[in-house]
Amino acid sequence: MANTLDNITVPVSLPFTLSLVGLLVAAIAFVAGVSTASDFSEFLLTVGAGSGLAIGFAFALISLFDTARPAMIVSALLGAAIGLSLGSSGGALFGIIFGVVAARLIFWVHLRQYRRGLPTYLTSNQVLWHYGFRAICAAIFIFLITPILVVLPLSFNAEDFFTFTPEMLSLDPEGFSLKHYKDFWNSNEWQRSFKNSLIIAPIATMISVSLGTLAAIGLSQSHVPFRRAIMAVLISPMIVPLIISATGMFFFYSKVGNFMEGTLGLDKNLVGYIKVVLAHAVLGIPFVIITVTATLVGFDRSLTRAAANMGADPVTTFFKIQMPLILPGVISGGLFAFITSFDEVVVVLFVGSASQKTLPWQMFTGLREQISPTILAVATILVIISIALLTTVELLRRRSERLRGMSPT
């Protein structure tokens, strides 16, 4: 029997497939056996029975079917049956997934489909390395994304636990609820902190974007004295450890606050907001400067000269010519500034007072003291917000690159 892949012919070898499957399952059984088996004979039995069963299963599938598709269906049904007999609907789901993956894998190995798309001259070791490397990368990607993905389903937990309950694992609707979202919605403290975040972050963003864009335009002129030093000062809020910035601003803004309350006679609450907004605006500035100067690097200066040539004054030139072109950079800088403020704890912890409690602050106290699952609901909402922001920034980046002719699309 031979199998045609692209335009080369690869021999199919049953012993190769079976030994690979056997080895894989034996390795899994080995790990499981080491931890559960009480003595050596039981251990051998686990490993032997596991790999034997797997080899038999693979042999049956390969001899019954020529292609992967029908084998996957049969294997899925088998998995579902075993899952149902052992557990509930959740077990059946796991059974189906396991069956499909196992059958796909067996035929993938058996029909040598893993060589598809790879140069034909690669040795088997190179093929092994190719897939080994991808497996490592996959593991790292999983490491990156798992914590975020774990939080999402847990936020629908019907219990006050931070882990998956048996009901959740068996996909029992009883195990899920919107309870924590309701808690978030009905709790005054969470609502107030959410509102505070929504007040503080946009205003701080506006300050950093307006001042930051002006300064970035100034910095990108051809002759700026002390350019490096100025840049270093403007970037420093990003570099200085937050705890140092926070303590510095704590002493500074307590004096400023006293002055505003005492001498100017402003409302205490208002002064509190002003303090936090100004502190957050400083923290957002480096992001605006960096993104806007990066956009200005690709800006064609002859456009402004052309505008001036045609009689436009600098202000008109700025708003009609320069601004529309650098707008994507400005907006993504603004989004960075927004997320910096929206996500900031340390500075608001030191500068703000209880009435300026923001969402991250509330989460921080929640995590440190009375840990409540409401945090997970809030976390899910924040993840959704960050997905929205990420999409916006990504779209803007592409648009900006397209405008500059850097990307073919």
Q: Applying CB under 8 A, which of residues 115, 383, 403, 404 lies at the interface with another protein?
A: 383
Query: Tell me, what DSSP letter sits at residue 39?
Result: S
* Residue 134: C-alpha distances to residues 98, 108, 128, 222, 295 (Å): 21, 16, 10, 46, 34
Q: How far is the CB of 85 from another protein (least distance, A)?
A: 19
Residues 6+ apart with CB under 8 A from 112: 3, 5, 10, 12
Between residue 196 and residue 215, which ones bind another protein under the rule CB under 8 A? Answer: 211-212, 214-215
* In the complex, least distance from residue 214 CB atom to another protein, rounded to whole angstroms: 5
Q: What three-state secondary structure class fits 338?
A: helix
- DSSP-derived 3-state class of residue 147: helix
Nearer to another protein among residue 60 and residue 122 (C-beta): 122
Supply the minimum distance, in Å, between the C-beta of residue 34 and another protein: 9
Measured distance CA(110)–CA(19) in Å, rounded: 11
- Among 205, 287, 338, 348, contact with another protein (rule: CB under 8 A): 287
- For another protein, give the closer residue by CB, 61 or 201: 201
Binding region for another protein (CB under 8 A) out of 51-59, 87-95, 112-120, 344-352:
344-352
Minimum CB separation of residue 163 from another protein in Å reads 5
Cα torsion 200, 202, 208, 214 to 10°: value is -150
Helix locations, 220-369, DSSP H: 227-239, 242-262, 268-297, 301-309, 314-317, 323-342, 346-351, 359-368
CB of 246 to another protein, least distance (A): 8
Q: Is 120 helix (H, G, I), strand (E, B) or coil?
A: coil
Residues 57-116 binding another protein (CB under 8 A) are none
Q: How far is the CB of 276 from another protein (least distance, A)?
A: 12
| Cβ-contact 43, 11 below 8 angstroms | no
Residue type, position 396, single letter: L
For the segment 111-140, give every residue that binds another protein (CB under 8 A).
126, 129, 133-134, 136-137, 140
**Rounded Cα gap, residues 305 and 27, in angstroms:** 70
* Candidate list 345, 399, 403, 404; residue touching another protein; CB under 8 A: 345
Question: Residue from 293, 295, 341, 356 that binds another protein (CB under 8 A)?
Answer: 293
Specify the 3-state DSSP secondary structure of 176. Answer: strand
Considering the rule CB under 8 A, would residue 395 count as an interface residue with another protein? no
> Which member of 199, 231, 312, 403 binds another protein (CB under 8 A)?
231
Q: How far is the CB of 346 from another protein (least distance, A)?
A: 6
Residue pair 182/311 in contact (Cβ under 8 Å)? The answer is no
Three-class SS state of 2: strand
Nearer to another protein, 17 or 340 (CB): 340
**In the range 243-282, which residues lie near another protein by CB under 8 A?**
243-245, 247-253, 278-279, 281-282
Q: How far is the CB of 393 from another protein (least distance, A)?
A: 6
Q: How far apart are CA 289 and CA 279, in angstroms?
A: 17
**Contacts of another protein in 310-339 (CB under 8 A):** 332, 336, 339
Q: How far is the CB of 251 from another protein (least distance, A)?
A: 6
Counting contacts by CB under 8 A, is residue 219 touching another protein? yes
CA distance 191 to 171: 31
| 188 contributes a contact to another protein by CB under 8 A | no
